[in-house]
Structure 1
């Protein structure tokens, strides 16, 4: 009897174990067969996102340079003294506006007295030689003088005439007043941008330094510093936009009209020149300038706005929207940055569409 009860209990226990195992296996199988849902970008979400189209850089690209404003050398005159002497009153200061012919200063010079003496002597000799020629012509007509005498009188007259012309030219160049003081006058209208003389200063012609520099500032030059890496991108005729610290909200337009094909060995820059109209004289020589040049690019790379990038694990990614409205992660390699633009060397082509908003959230969701 006891054996029967024991067998019955064993059978009941085995059935219970089988039931539990079956139930456990059934739950495990259900979890395995259940598929994990994959994140997808719905059409409703796409309508809320910004999408940029990848473009290709044209033959022009923006290059930022530094430079300096200086006077137009074709409209700038350095004034040197042609005589030595003592400077009179110098009332003109650097930065003053002057008119053509305006007196800048005078020089008390003994050389002017010598020029005046030569002029007076030549005038006297010219009058005497003219009278001698008239007498020789009358004597020749009456037969009292020979042809040789007449030719000699003509020669003396021509010599006196040439000397008078020379002395007049000298006096014209070395203009003086009634007191025989040498006058320095402005040769053009403009501004005095350099002054190297003071009242009662001794001036010598062998000094080699100009006393004044007068410049017409209605046009000025902007001298650009082109770094070696940008030399190939910039050509004569490129459009230029210039701003200064004094006028940060104002742009001055021009074009590069000359490139100095010499590289500065110390600064590793090449110079270029831009002529700028300056009718209101806002630009002053010596001002520093920020210059944007629409230069030429040697390559044609696709570019997008930098906001489209996702940086992860030292790599750059974008989210590409294909023709079927599917979004995928695309790794890209950057060629260079320029302000808010990034040029892509690998990973994108012109015409590709990339997500430009909430891209970090989408990247993490698609990645996981």
Structure 2
């Protein structure tokens, strides 16, 4: 900024000179005002050449026309009224709130739209000032929201293989965690007196039905026995084998009722399990979750059902499509991010738990808002300012309130009107000139 202020001296400061045709100074130039100031401390103004009392640099001569000085006319204090329970509903004058029917209360104005500096350039200055101006207008903005996350197992796909009757493990078929188990695969052999007794009852009941099929009591007994064995994990082929052999073996094989990858191997030979205890914990990875973080500044833009594109470093050149199906209602206090989630098919098993995912989603912003290039906004830290051309040689700085940023454009929520002539090229020189003349109100 200091370099711009110095350059502003060179561009705008020397107005008392002869033109290319050798003409002498005009009467208006005789009316010019001359003073000496410091390029680093523009608040210093002396009538004689010398050194800056602050930094001891040589003072620079400035010759300005009477209308060259930046003016900051007194502004009437603006008032704003809003509903007590909804501050977004406002009015420039006191009235009744349409929400609760009560009187609106006075609130502090945002200050957007206030003119904080004015400049009038001399004809000589204009010849050296190549400003690029465009008219403020609305535009449909599409923001690309970036998401970063990782693949994780879908909680609704978690399951286990419980032992449905008390018993002791005699043999374990699954060797380690991470092994894939299909539905119907043998998992353990157990010894269970309760199960053996139920199997023997089944054999007796079936033999009785074979002899006296018309007796309802025998049929009911057989049906109850079959249901009990089924609930305990014994399938039809096992029952048929028992009936064929006429006995129940001492150890009975238990088969998996579901498919998945083993995440916990609890079954150990010789270990006794009570009814309901888990032999193995499984997860089905045919469908996985991709959990991602959204920066707080973009958190209001995401919602369920939005399309999301996902890229994985392990799958170069491949883009997977999904939709957001969960948006957390809580911002993480440590990371200041919002958790979102998408579900994606993984039948081929290409996605592994823990893989890093790079996601993006397109959000169409409100097309009714004015949009300007980000480069035209001068952000002082305290406020955001845009320079507007109000005449052939007249410019003024106005405060604005901005909205979302998308690429090289930014929304202007308040402070501009459609058709305002925005200075794009040269706005920082105008800012430096205003600071040089102390034109800004602090």
Provide the TM-score with structure 1 as the length reference: 0.60
Residue in structure 1 matched with residue 211 of structure 2 by the alignment: 128
Q: Which residue of 1 aligns with 2:177?
A: 94
1:97-117: per-residue Cα shift (whole Å, max 9, x none)?
333323333333333322321
Whether 1:215 and 2:280 are equivalent positions in the alignment is no
CA distance in 2, matches of 1:312, 1:230: 23
Q: Deviations over 1:234-279 (max 9, x none)?
A: 443222344568779865432234668x769999999765322334
Indicate yes or no: 2:401 matched with 1:318.
Answer: no
Residue among 258, 268, 272 paired with 1:199:
268
Q: 2:30 aligns with which of 29, 32, 42?
A: 32
- Matches of 2:393 and 2:221 in 1, distance apart? 97
* Alignment correspondent of 2:251: 180
Relative distance call for 1:310 and 1:120 in structure 2 (3 A) is: same
Give the distance between the partners of 1:281 and 1:52, measured in 2 at CA: 54
Q: Displacement of 1:122 after TM fit?
A: 1.4
User: 1:30 offset after TM fit, Å?
Assistant: 8.7
Deviations 1:49-76 (A, max 9, x none): 7979754566x76656676644345555
Deviation at 1:360, TM superposition (A): 2.9
- Residues 1:186 and 1:123: Cα distance change in structure 2 (over 3 Å): closer
In our comparison, the structure showing a higher alpha carbon Rg is 1
State whether residues 92 and 104 of structure 1, in contact with CA within 8 Å, keep that contact through their aligned partners in structure 2: no
SS of the residue corresponding to residue 120 of structure 1 reads: helix
1:192: how far off? Answer: 0.9
> In structure 1, how many angstroms separate the alpha carbons of the residues matched to 2:262 and 2:284?
7
Structure 1 Cα separation of the partners of residues 393 and 31 of structure 2: 27
How far residue 81 of structure 1 moved from its aligned partner, in angstroms, is: 1.6
What is the rounded CA distance, in whole Å, between the counterparts of 1:40 and 1:347 in structure 2?
Answer: 26
1:256 to 324, 327, 331: 324
Mapped contact 2:149–2:290 kept (Cα < 8 A): yes
The match for 2:188 is 105
1:172-199 per-position Cα deviation (integer Å, ceiling 9, x unaligned): 43346965323132523xx415224143
* Mapped partners of 1:41, 1:100: distance in 2: 84
What's the RMSD between the two structures over aligned residues? Answer: 4.9
CA contact 2:373–2:410 (8 Å) conserved in 1 = yes
Separation in structure 1 between the aligned mates of residue 428 and residue 270 of structure 2, nearest angstrom: 74
1:125 to partner: Cα distance: 2.1
Q: 2:306 aligns to what?
A: 238
Q: Distance in 1 between matches of 2:175 and 2:421?
A: 66
Alpha-carbon separation, structure 1, partners of 2:170 and 2:426: 75
Q: Matches of residues 51-90 of structure 1 in structure 2 within 5 Å?
A: 55-56=138-139, 69-72=151-154, 75-83=157-165, 84-86=167-169, 88-90=171-173
Which residue does 1:143 correspond to in 2? none
TM-score, scaled to structure 2: 0.52
2:374 matched residue in structure 1: 306
Looking at structure 1, the residues matched to 380 and 303 of structure 2 have their Cα atoms a distance apart, in angstroms, of 39
* Displacement after TM superposition at 1:169 (Å): 3.7
2:375 partner SS: helix
